[in-house]
Amino acid sequence: MTSFLTDEQRMIAEGVHAFVETELQPHEQLVEKLDAVPDELFAEIKAKAIAAGYYAMNMPAEHGGGGLGARERCVAEMEFGRTSRALAVICNRPAPILKACTGDQIETYLKPTIRGERWECFALTEPGAGSDARAISTRAVRNGNDYIINGTKQFITMAMRADFIIVFAVTGTDETPKGPQKRITAFLVDKAIPGIEVTPLDVVSNRGMKSCIISFSDVRVPARNILGEEGGGFAIAKNWIFSGRVMLAGNCVGLADRAMGIAAQWANTRKAFGQPIGRFQGTAFKLADMAMEIHATRLMVLDGAAKMDAGTITQREASQINLFGSEMVGRVTDNALQIMGGMGITKDMPLERFWRDARVERIWEGTSEIHRDIISKDVLREYPA
Ligand SMILES: Cc1cc2nc3c(=O)[nH]c(=O)nc-3n(C[C@H](O)[C@H](O)[C@H](O)COP(=O)(O)OP(=O)(O)OC[C@H]3O[C@@H](n4cnc5c(N)ncnc54)[C@H](O)[C@@H]3O)c2cc1C
């Protein structure tokens, strides 16, 4: 742990660490096997997280959330990263974009979600639009006091569990200095509305969390369910995009640290050629690199979180943290698995799962290439000819 944490931050880290070890990690194998969290277990974990004060820590205290700052949250994220995402997500939520709820939306969506009575998912990506999010083609057409939504979303995490969906749809075209641009609006859409169909996808990372395809066929949504302003969908999403990137790197620290611990114990125990394999430089130096990279990421995450609290974090910084953390966890889990040799690749050991789970970190909160694009453009802007 880092020396400059406050007492409160240290307390959160220790509390979440113990919670993860006792309440979440024991269920990892079951979730992995079933590729699902059984309903009873889900309800039990949620109740325990609420009782312990680890639920909705990121939400405003005035609406019943924990009201924690980014530094406290990232300390918690690092600990939640030490277990399966399918389990951590039961506690560590909801999506911060819901802070944009206004008027009746606060009672209907925000507060019940903070209390754990409702569950959201975030639906931006489509089969034809991922990194290029402005290319989405889901449309919402005004019809009296309602909008009619048609289109398909893809890779929407936890859509099976959600009872409402934050849907991004095109509601018109804006003339801009760069030419015509799609006007994109965010809607709060109850999943029970007729015309919505959810189909789970099978992915190798984070089993039990389930990413899904959602199709919308003439789905009628009241205009009062617009989140933010009509045409302001990207503006509100952007408010929280940095947070997602920094917190993702926090999760990567937790997963990498756990993988390193298992590999180091193995290196001390497993013998080859008459000595523990940790005595071979080829093994020991891998551990040295892991420790150094994990520590560097931890510091980057804490720095990013401090800048989020101060409102000074830049897009480049958030991308640097996300990119460094997601690539770091890929290297660490791969090397940890290598240290375990053949045992690392068996399903009896958690390393192969960590290695699979780490893989998506380089994709889902912006791909490595997109982050390098953001960072390099900013560097080139900084040093003009
Ligand atoms: C498991 C999982 C869960 C997800 N959950 C959600 C969710 O809950 N909600 C949601 O809305 N989305 C979700 N996503 C979608 C995620 O945000 C996208 O996968 C991501 O943005 C990349 O988009 P894509 O998969 O369409 O890849 P593409 O954008 O098609 O990219 C394909 C390749 O092209 C490269 N590429 C694209 N553009 C450039 C460029 N300008 N420069 C260089 N290289 C480029 C990419 O780096 C990548 O290597 C999830 C994805 C996954 C895998």
Is the residue at 102 inside a domain? Answer: no
Q: Are residues 321 and 254 part of one domain? A: yes
pLDDT, position 92: 84
Is the residue at 25 inside a domain? Answer: yes
Helices (H) and strands (E) in the chain, counts: 12, 10
pLDDT, position 238: 83
Q: Are residues 217 and 305 part of one domain? A: no
Task: State pLDDT tens for residues 297-315.
Answer: 999 999 999 999 999 999 9
Q: Are residues 227 and 150 part of one domain? A: yes
Q: Are residues 377 and 246 part of one domain? A: yes
Is the residue at 298 inside a domain? Answer: yes
The catalytic residue positions are: 365
CATH number at 267 reads 1.20.140.10
Structure-token pair, residue 352? 């192969």
Q: What parts of the chain have a pLDDT lower than 70? A: 1-2
CATH number at 167 reads 2.40.110.10
Domain boundary among 177, 204, 231: 231
pLDDT, position 1: 58
Is the residue at 103 inside a domain? Answer: no
Ligand 1 pocket residue status of 154, Cβ below 6 Å = no
Ligand 1 atom closest to the Cα of residue 203 is 1
Ligand 1 pocket residue status of 360, Cβ below 6 Å = yes
Pick the residue whose CA is nearest to atom 7 on ligand 1.
156
pLDDT, position 246: 97
Pick the residue whose CA is nearest to atom 53 on ligand 1.
364
Q: Are residues 318 and 265 part of one domain? A: yes
Pick the residue whose CA is nearest to atom 44 on ligand 1.
369
Instruction: Say whether pTM exceeds 0.95.
Output: yes
Is the residue at 328 inside a domain? Answer: yes
Ligand 1 pocket residue status of 352, Cβ below 6 Å = no
Q: Are residues 75 and 132 part of one domain? A: no
Question: Structural domain of residue 150, as residue ranges?
Answer: 120-231
Ligand 1 pocket residue status of 155, Cβ below 6 Å = yes
Q: Are residues 189 and 281 part of one domain? A: no
Residue positions counted in the chain: 385
Q: Are residues 218 and 125 part of one domain? A: yes
Pick the residue whose CA is nearest to atom 27 on ligand 1.
130
- Interval between CA 18 and ligand 1 midpoint (Å): 34
Task: State pLDDT tens for residues 315-327.
Answer: 999 999 999 999 9
Q: Chain centroid to CA 75: how far?
A: 15
CB of 260 closer than 8 Å to CB of 294: yes
**Rounded to whole angstroms, how far apart are CA atoms 114 and 64?**
7
Domain boundary among 76, 93, 110: 93
CATH number at 77 reads 1.10.540.10
Ligand 1 pocket residue status of 98, Cβ below 6 Å = no
Strands (E), the chain: 120-123, 139-143, 146-157, 164-176, 179-190, 196-200, 211-222, 226-227, 271-272, 275-276
CA distances from 168 to 8, 108, 135, 243, 320 (A): 37, 19, 11, 19, 26
Ligand 1 atom closest to the Cα of residue 129 is 26
Q: Which of 216, 326, 364, 376 to mutate to test the pocket of ligand 1 (most atoms within 8 A of CB)?
A: 364
- Interval between CA 72 and ligand 1 midpoint (Å): 29
Is the residue at 114 inside a domain? Answer: no
Q: Are residues 203 and 254 part of one domain? A: no
Q: Which of 165, 326, 367 to mutate to test the pocket of ligand 1 (most atoms within 8 A of CB)?
A: 367
Count: domains in the chain: 3
Q: Are residues 241 and 223 part of one domain? A: no
pLDDT, position 2: 63
Domain boundary among 93, 109, 131: 93
Structure-token pair, residue 223? 């205009």
Q: Are residues 326 and 268 part of one domain? A: yes
SS3 state at 6: coil
Q: Are residues 250 and 220 part of one domain? A: no
Is the residue at 38 inside a domain? Answer: yes
Is the residue at 104 inside a domain? Answer: no
